[in-house]
Structure 1
Amino acid sequence: MKGNENLEKEHKNTYLLKRFLPYYRKYRWILVLDLFCAMLTTVCDLVLPLIVRYLTNMGMTDIEGLTVKIILSLGLFYLLLLAMDAAANYFTAYIGHLMGTKIETDMRRDLFCHLQKLSYSFYSNTKIGQLISRITTDLFDITEFAHHCPEEFFIAALKITVSFVILGNINIWLTLIIFIGFPLMLISTGYFRKKMREAFKRARVQTGEINAQVEDNLLGIRVVKSFANEEMEEEKFDIGNRLFLAIKKQSYRYMAGFQATTRVFDGFMLIMVVVCGSLFMINGAINAGDLMAYLLYVTTLLASIRRIVEFAEQFQKGMTGIERFIEVMDEPAEVYEAENAQELKQVVGDISFEKVSFQYSDGTDEVLSDIDLNVTHGQNIAIVGPSGSGKSTLCHLIPRFYDVTSGRICIDGQDIKDLTLHSLRSRIGIVQQDVYLFSGTIRENIAYGRPDAPLEQVELAARQAGAHDFIMKLPQQYDTYVGERGVKLSGGQKQRISIARVFLKNPPILILDEATSALDNESERIVQESLRELTKGRTTFTIAHRLTTIRNADIILVLTEEGIVEQGPHETLIRKEGVYYDLYQMYRDLDGVNGEF
């Protein structure tokens, strides 16, 4: 994944339909019945011209034979057809739309499930607002498309075919003159159809950009207000909003051109029937009843074509939604399970890195190169080094948020690529600097890893994390709503809840990714006490800037662009007076006794 440009590809309609058709499989009998009912709705349109032709010819050639009984019988027959038409139309309108909604729901489910499988690198290069647009707005039109697309084209094909057969039997030459206009119309409107598709896709992309901008603004609203930048944000939004307007204006211009072209052909075909039909009637090739039938059939055909024209906008929107759906579904999951992946059970906690190298998929330089490391169960490994040296990346390779480019990582002698992702990640706990709390209650957030955990275990985990006391002071205690992203809690409180979440999970392997670097001194002291309790007996990787979090580590790794340049306990590295010693001296001068990394 090299950025959003990979999500913007052009696909042919035939390819898009081929990818979309499997979603009908579950509902194929509903589709068959829907098309059957759609066929019934065309009967009235096809029979009426024949009734009019019969009555007209009888009236002109045998007026005495046209009895009241015949007229009433034909009228009653047509009323029965209308009743059948109403019932069939009810079915197609209700069950057909329901089928479309179910297909839309299936596609949204598949898209969401696929998004769960995509790697960190995909989300690093893709705007969340764009993905929200794809999973919501882009699929809204699928219901109408899935229902009306087969129905409208089936009805149009049926009417054209049956009409051609009936009219051909009346007068083949007049029929050919009329029907030659259809391919000409398709060719002449092809340009507008293509341009409409392109414009609708640009509109969808811009909708995603607006979503992304709104999301970015609202999540950062406190920063916006603190810098008094409301006007600047409004101007930025106005630029995107006006661009959306310009794109929509362009799409409607193409749609207007499309509709104008089809109206020209409507008039052309009608006048052709009138002029040519009259000439044929003068020469005795057809009679008045036949000409009336021609006019009614052509009117019916043009009505069908107008419905197709009106559906063209919906069709192009649906195809655009399918295209943007497929673009995400075609994004490869860079991290995947082996075919015969094994469950990770009875974890001891020994971890080894064997000649591990890593490079991001966008082709940048290697972040890690030939890393060799052996960690014994229960050890606390601290990782320090300058920004960009790969500290977080090194730890993110253990739960396979990324896959190594070369080499391998083993847990208790098992290559992590041979393990199921669920069993691997369920045995690793991660506490990060940027705590994410879901919109919900404190209890739900602590129990996120074990939703079925009873309240007693949730409370125990909170006590172990030093969070119980402040939770009990809240209005609804463990049922207190934390707000979006935990906005109602302080940084220290959110961090203690995230630690309680890991306590409840009880994993044998821990990753602490700068877990206290964003906290004030008092909050850091409380959280550090919780972390010391959490790390007991667990294999722990600590990425830290503050010296207080790593001085007691069993092994300190000094990671630079050249790899692991030093390792050992704090006192040993200080006596060595190497890279770690220089960093220690520099940050001690900057931050006093404790020092920061």
Structure 2
Amino acid sequence: MSAHADPLDHRYSGEHPVRSVAYLLREDRRRLVLGILAFALKHSPTWLLPLVTANLIDVVVQHRPLSELWLSAGLLIASLSLNYPFHVLYVRCWAGTVRRMGTRLRSALCHRMQQLSIGYYSRMSAGALQNKVIRDVESVEQMVQQTGDTGLGAVMMLLGGLIVIAFRAPAFLPVFLVIVPCAALLATKLRGRMRTDNERFRREVEQLSTRVSEMTTLIPITRAHGLERAALRRVDGTLWRVFEAGLRVDVLNGRFGALAWTTLNVLGAGCLTGAALAAYSGWITPGDVVMLSAFFGTLTSATTGLMSLGPVFVRGLESVRSVGEVLQEPDLETNEAKAKVTEVRGEVAFESVGYAYAGGSGTAVRDFTLTVSAGERIAFVGASGAGKSTVLNLVIGFLRPTSGRILLDGRDMQDLDLRSYRTFVSVVPQEPILFEGTIRENVAYGLPDVSLDRVRQALADANALDFIDALPDGVDTVVGERGARLSGGQRQRLAIARALIRDPRILVLDEATSALDTHSERLIQQALERLVRGRTVFVVAHRLSTIRTADRIVVMRDGQIVEAGTHESLVRSDGAYAALL
């Protein structure tokens, strides 16, 4: 992607979306011009055919020289032979441009999503973002593609037809300029009513889909309570509403379809009659009658086609605005021009740190002061909402303090490039996140050229090798989407192995052993005791076995530290920690 055409450089807000589309296409403007020229040549038979037909009829009726007949036929065959090569050229230019634009736009969205802060993702659903990347970009692509396929065809037909009429039968030009748009508008209005009723029918079908889904989900409860009749009555009511809506659509479609067909053909007959009278009076030739009659149908269809692009444009331009919301989102994690982290000892100091979530009530963490030595293991405990996860997110750099500061090895993290810092950090979240790939690919994610021995060692340290070796494909077993083919405990052990293989200086464990049975947890704890040496470890856990061996346990309440110390000292003090046991 060239720098001058990077979609991230464009400002969508406050600009008309048409200008934004033009910006997205400007890198391929030469291809677009070439595509338009190719379309004009390949589309020429559509408006040449009525003219050639008129010439052929006049040659026959007026007994003009046969050379004119051969000339007209040769012209038509020559124009038809141009269709294949120039259609291929048009597709390469126009469709290629649309595909490149969509690819650049999706790439820009993915780039911006990697730059957005974690706070943004807490406000925006993953489904909405996926819809912007897939459906919204697809709507923009469809808008531009149909502008070429339908719009260019209609414009070429209108221009070519009106030019031919202006030269061949100029007296009919004003008639076409008035009647054709009126006929197209009438047809569009009639079809618009049909679309409304079809939309109503579609909503009823969607409601039926919801009812059937509910019924299948509730079958165990329905059977257990003998509610089969009630469930069927609920679905039957929706079925009959679908029947009534569908029948109404069928009747209305038939009525309006017949009315539209009759109206357009009556107008066409009127045009044909008027042209015949003009020919009878000697104003035009018999061939012109056929030409004008043919042009009425094609020009009406072209105008209707242009008008039908309205909804496509509305959806496409709205999608441009939707995509722009992400591309212009200001809530970014800014790392440019900040100091790169090349070495981490692991000393972390919180100095009167506070953090408040945007739009939230109150502060999640306040006046948080704690110094963690390199290689120290810190466990955070407290009730739900005490601020433990917020502190972990501050350590990782997902969040930046709204007050106070955090020092990493004596340097303010506000001044550091957090991307380089995180190469020294490993995180095991409460819910393990795996992608659809092999066990080896998941464990070594983001690490090129990792040896099989290193992968197996990480799996062994995470107590995962026993069940993996029992699988038919071993480390090459595909885990399925989000690790669906593995149990919860197995997924969590892979997530731990992924963290351990990076040999981190700072290790963050957020309920990392919550999905494990007691036996597996005990083996992992033994491995962690070996692996945490020389590393700074932050742990959030509820299980006593996970936290009691920590160097210090920090008890939190309402975003503040209420007490801290070793397990034994806190138990002796009989304070907030002892109350949690």
TM-score category, normalised to shorter length: 0.7 to 0.9
Unaligned runs of 5+ in 1: 1-10, 588-597
Q: Give 2:543's aligned residue.
A: 546
| Aligned-pair CA distance for 1:390 | 1.4
Q: Give 2:49's aligned residue.
A: 48
Q: Which of 338, 363, 367 is equivalent to 2:360?
A: 363
Q: Which of 155, 165, 168 is equivalent to 1:167?
A: 165
Other structure's SS at 2:444 match: helix
Q: Which of 149, 155, 158 is equivalent to 2:156?
A: 158
Other structure's SS at 2:331 match: coil
One-letter amino acid of the counterpart of residue 456, structure 1: D
1:296-445 counterparts in 2 under 5 A? 296-305=294-303, 307-308=305-306, 325-326=323-324, 329=327, 332=329, 334-445=331-442
Q: Give 2:65's aligned residue.
A: 67
Q: 1:382 to 1:217 in 2, by over 3 A?
A: farther
Unaligned runs of 5+ in 2: 1-11
One-letter amino acid of the counterpart of residue 549, structure 1: T
Q: 1:296 to 1:187 in 2, by over 3 A?
A: closer
Other structure's SS at 1:426 match: helix
Q: Which of 489, 507, 528 is equivalent to 2:525?
A: 528
| Aligned-pair CA distance for 1:28 | 3.4
| Aligned-pair CA distance for 1:320 | 6.6
1:9-48 counterparts in 2 under 5 A? 15-48=16-49
1:195-234 counterparts in 2 under 5 A? none
Q: 1:521 to 1:538 in 2, by over 3 A?
A: same
One-letter amino acid of the counterpart of residue 419, structure 2: H
Normalising by structure 1, we get a TM-score of 0.77
Q: Give 1:5's aligned residue.
A: none
Q: 1:151 to 1:569 in 2, by over 3 A?
A: same
User: In the alignment, is residue 555 of structure 1 matched against residue 552 of structure 2?
Assistant: yes
Q: Is the 8 A contact 1:461 1:500 kept in 2?
A: yes
User: In the alignment, is residue 85 of structure 1 matched against residue 83 of structure 2?
Assistant: yes
- 1:78-120 deviations in whole A, cap 9, x for unaligned? 2111111233234435664454444444444444444444444
Other structure's SS at 2:386 match: coil
| Aligned-pair CA distance for 1:556 | 2.2
Q: Give 1:590's aligned residue.
A: none
Other structure's SS at 2:445 match: helix
Other structure's SS at 1:180 match: helix
Q: Is the 8 A contact 1:201 1:320 kept in 2?
A: no
Other structure's SS at 1:352 match: strand
Q: Equivalent pairs: percent with the same residue?
A: 29
Q: 1:301 to 1:257 in 2, by over 3 A?
A: farther
Q: 1:88 to 1:191 in 2, by over 3 A?
A: same
> CA separation in 1, counterparts of 2:304 and 2:98?
22
* RMSD of Structure 2 on Structure 1 (CA): 4.8
Q: 1:560 to 1:192 in 2, by over 3 A?
A: farther
One-letter amino acid of the counterpart of residue 561, structure 2: I
Q: Is the 8 A contact 2:51 2:164 kept in 1?
A: no
- 1:290-343 deviations in whole A, cap 9, x for unaligned? 44432233233134345547767766665676565555555x263422431332
> CA separation in 2, counterparts of 1:517 and 1:264?
71
Q: 1:352 to 1:190 in 2, by over 3 A?
A: farther
- 1:185-230 deviations in whole A, cap 9, x for unaligned? 67664897799699989989x99xx99x99x999xx9x9999999x
Other structure's SS at 1:337 match: coil
Normalising by structure 2, we get a TM-score of 0.78
> CA separation in 1, counterparts of 2:193 and 2:323?
19
Q: Give 1:499's aligned residue.
A: 496
Q: Is the 8 A contact 1:103 1:146 kept in 2?
A: no
| Aligned-pair CA distance for 1:74 | 1.8
Q: 1:258 to 1:525 in 2, by over 3 A?
A: farther
Q: 1:480 to 1:371 in 2, by over 3 A?
A: same
Q: Give 1:595's aligned residue.
A: none
| Aligned-pair CA distance for 1:385 | 1.0
| Aligned-pair CA distance for 1:419 | 3.0
Q: Is the 8 A contact 1:120 1:402 kept in 2?
A: yes
> CA separation in 1, counterparts of 2:517 and 2:117?
33
Q: Give 1:448's aligned residue.
A: 445
> CA separation in 2, counterparts of 1:217 and 1:374?
56
**Corresponding residue pairs, total:** 556
1:569-588 counterparts in 2 under 5 A? 569-583=566-580, 587=581
Other structure's SS at 2:44 match: helix
Greater mean alpha carbon deviation, residues 140-149 or residues 400-409: 140-149
Q: 1:400 to 1:439 in 2, by over 3 A?
A: same
Q: 1:327 to 1:380 in 2, by over 3 A?
A: same
> CA separation in 1, counterparts of 2:409 and 2:251?
65
> CA separation in 1, counterparts of 2:96 and 2:389?
48
| Aligned-pair CA distance for 1:40 | 0.9
| Aligned-pair CA distance for 1:537 | 1.2
Q: 1:74 to 1:496 in 2, by over 3 A?
A: closer
